[in-house]
């Protein structure tokens, strides 16, 4: 169970987690329900309360969003920009005191902007307090709430107080590698905090309910290769290279249930196209096999044709309401893989191997991916977002 200690002093509440951050799931679902009604939450120092080990809104009614798209566009880099800003620092050199390096993404006290107008362009930075930089330009929408909850998660998971400028600077410096702040942090929670508390709104998570589900079932989520965590204790080029190779070797020969390439289980990071293509009808005899996503019919032929396959043609988006957020997560993970590793891990599994470990658990049926195709999933925004799938090669690969 989550054990949270609240230390109040001078009107400030500090949250220190002694056992994970799962107690914030009810808060995330409560705010997500407000988003479904077209409202946003009030998430300030005194706006979140602890109710029997679970976080909740002190003012659950919410309020209407406040929008300033012009101010956001002035401060936020364009999606099409080839330049990605990962940090901004100011170096001040003084003859007497030497050089001082300031992180411009951290800790701008309110007093420094006391005369600023809401329309002034600001530099995206982590603020003092559990709030987003967007609020400085008079903008508060769903993504603003997601950012604030991301900071609360970071506070719980890493023992930080975002009302303390020193802790804000620590988080800004190590936001890309939270294991420096908490070596025992679970990789899925670290990834979730990074997505929710991203300064760049284009890289920030957009579905709070999906994030709540990931946090609630974080132990069941697949754990990818986290280079920062692997290299946390390595120094020097030889040591870093050996650490990565050792970790990859251990993952390759990992025969435990942690290896999802052997012991496959559906998670938030996977989408079962066959299940998603089955219509929800009362008369099962009305379902025709050629309408389903199976690998022995029209769907397979269309995929192997090499063109873009419209998923709206095959999947029941009207019945399976989770599909848009699931595909958004897949696209986001693929984009992150390309940025970090230079290639995509996304695969369409077309055949599974069903087998039994007769020595250890003869009654358990194990499902392992056998054949797959490298694919790309794309999203076209519109009144109703359209998703498409396209294979990179018609030759299947063995797992």
Read off the tokens for 73.
Answer: 């566009």
- Nearest CA to 214 among 32, 40, 45? 32
Among 171, 192, 222, the domain boundary falls at 222
- What is the rounded distance in angstroms from the CA atom of residue 73 to the CA atom of residue 59? 30
- H or E, element range at 348: strand 347-357
Residue with tokens 């929408």: 141
Angle, CA 130 vertex, CA 3 and CA 83 arms, to 5°: 120
The more confident residue out of 28 and 228 is 28
Question: Per residue in 311-325, is it b (16+ CB within 10 Å) or e — as a string?
Answer: beebbbbeebeebbb
**Domain region containing 18:** 4-72+104-222
Do 335 and 196 share a structural domain?
Answer: no
Do 322 and 389 share a structural domain?
Answer: yes
Do 209 and 327 share a structural domain?
Answer: no
The more confident residue out of 113 and 77 is 77
How is residue 63 annotated by DSSP?
Answer: B
For 117, residues 6+ apart whose C-beta sits below 8 A from its C-beta are none
Do 264 and 181 share a structural domain?
Answer: no
Q: What is the pLDDT of residue 354?
A: 85
Average pLDDT, the chain: 78
Q: What is the pLDDT of residues 190-242, one digit of tens each?
A: 889 989 999 888 888 888 998 888 888 777 665 555 555 555 555 555 666 67
Let me know if residue 242 belongs to a domain: no
Let me know if residue 241 belongs to a domain: no
Beta strands 89-94 and 98-103, pairing class = antiparallel
Do 279 and 154 share a structural domain?
Answer: no
Do 218 and 122 share a structural domain?
Answer: yes
Q: What is the pLDDT of residue 139?
A: 92
Q: What is the pLDDT of residue 14?
A: 37
What is the residue-wise DSSP string for 18-34? Answer: SS-SGGGHHHHHHHHHH
The more confident residue out of 116 and 376 is 376
Do 344 and 217 share a structural domain?
Answer: no
The more confident residue out of 42 and 260 is 42
> Which CATH number goes with the domain that contains 44?
1.10.510.10
The more confident residue out of 225 and 92 is 92
Q: What is the mean pLDDT of residues 350-361?
A: 84
Do 129 and 22 share a structural domain?
Answer: yes
Band (145; pLDDT cuts 50, 70, 90): very high
Q: What is the pLDDT of residues 293-345, one digit of tens each?
A: 888 888 999 999 888 999 999 999 988 888 999 999 899 888 888 887 777 88
Do 163 and 311 share a structural domain?
Answer: no
- What is the rounded distance in angstroms from the CA atom of residue 227 to the CA atom of residue 332? 18
Band (39; pLDDT cuts 50, 70, 90): very high
Distances (CA, A) of 159 to 3, 20, 171, 232: 12, 10, 10, 19
- What is the rounded distance in angstroms from the CA atom of residue 115 to the CA atom of residue 27? 34
Do 267 and 212 share a structural domain?
Answer: no
Give alpha helix (H) positions in the chain. Answer: 25-36, 69-75, 142-158, 165-174, 187-196, 208-216, 227-230, 237-252, 273-276, 298-304, 311-314, 323-341
**3-class DSSP state of 334:** helix
Q: What is the pLDDT of residue 235?
A: 59
Do 142 and 282 share a structural domain?
Answer: no
Let me know if residue 40 belongs to a domain: yes
Q: What is the mean pLDDT of residues 270-281?
A: 88
Band (58; pLDDT cuts 50, 70, 90): confident
For 293, residues 6+ apart whose C-beta sits below 8 A from its C-beta are 273, 274, 276, 277, 299, 314, 315
Do 218 and 271 share a structural domain?
Answer: no
Phi, psi of 172 (to 5 degrees): -60, -40
Q: What is the pLDDT of residue 221?
A: 61
Let me know if residue 299 belongs to a domain: yes
For 319, residues 6+ apart whose C-beta sits below 8 A from its C-beta are 279, 280
Q: What is the mean pLDDT of residues 237-262?
A: 66
Domain count, the chain: 2
Band (378; pLDDT cuts 50, 70, 90): very high
Q: What is the pLDDT of residue 66?
A: 92
pTM over 0.85: no
Q: What is the pLDDT of residue 56?
A: 86
Let me know if residue 18 belongs to a domain: yes
Let me know if residue 78 belongs to a domain: no
Read off the tokens for 41.
Answer: 């939450």
Let me know if residue 90 belongs to a domain: no
What totals of helices (H) and strands (E) does the chain contain, helices first? 12, 11
Q: What is the pLDDT of residue 111?
A: 41
In the chain, what is the straight-line distance between the N-terminal and C-terminal CA atoms, in Å? Answer: 38
Q: What is the pLDDT of residue 90?
A: 76
């Amino acid at each position: 169970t989550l054990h949270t200690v609240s230390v109040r002093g001078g009107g400030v509440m500090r949250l220190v987690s002694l056992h994970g951050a799962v107690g914030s799931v009810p808060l995330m679902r409560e705010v997500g329900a407000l988003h479904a009604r077209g409202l946003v939450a009030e998430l300030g120092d005194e706006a979140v309360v602890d109710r029997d080990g679970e976080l909740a809104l002190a003012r659950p009614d919410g309020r209407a969003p406040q929008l300033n798209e012009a101010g956001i566009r002035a401060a936020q880099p364009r999606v099409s920009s080839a330049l990605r800003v990962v940090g901004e620092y100011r170096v001040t050199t003084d003859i007497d005191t030497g050089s001082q390096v300031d992180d411009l993404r951290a800790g701008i006290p309110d007093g420094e902007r006391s005369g600023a107008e809401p329309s002034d362009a600001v530099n995206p930075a982590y603020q003092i307090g559990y709030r987003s930089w967007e609020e400085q330009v008079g903008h508060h929408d769903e993504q603003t709430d997601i950012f604030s909850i991301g900071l609360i998660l970071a506070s719980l998971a890493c023992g930080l107080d975002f009302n303390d400028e020193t802790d804000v600077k620590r988080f800004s410096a190590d936001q890309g590698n939270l294991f420096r702040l908490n070596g025992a942090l679970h990789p899925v929670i670290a990834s979730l905090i990074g997505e929710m508390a991203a300064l760049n709104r284009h890289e920030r998570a957009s579905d709070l309910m999906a994030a709540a589900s990931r946090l609630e079932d974080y132990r069941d989520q697949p754990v990818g290769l986290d280079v920062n965590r692997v290299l946390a204790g390595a120094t020097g080029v030889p040591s870093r290279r050996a650490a990565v190779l050792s970790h990859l070797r251990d993952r390759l020969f990992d025969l435990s249930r942690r290896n999802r390439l052997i012991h496959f289980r559906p998670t938030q990071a996977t989408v079962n196209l066959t299940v998603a293509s089955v219509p929800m009808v009362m008369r099962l005899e009305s379902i025709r096999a050629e309408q389903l996503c199976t690998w022995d019919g029209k769907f397979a032929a269309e995929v192997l044709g090499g063109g873009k396959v419209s998923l709206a043609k095959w999947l029941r988006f009207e019945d399976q309401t989770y599909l848009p957020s699931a595909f958004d997560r897949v696209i986001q993970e693929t984009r992150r893989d390309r940025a970090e590793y230079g290639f995509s891990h996304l695969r369409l599994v077309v055949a599974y191997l069903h087998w039994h470990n007769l020595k250890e658990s003869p009654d358990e049926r194990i499902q392992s991916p056998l054949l797959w195709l490298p694919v790309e999933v794309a999203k076209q925004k519109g009144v109703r977002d359209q998703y498409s799938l396209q294979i990179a090669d018609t030759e299947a690969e063995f797992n």
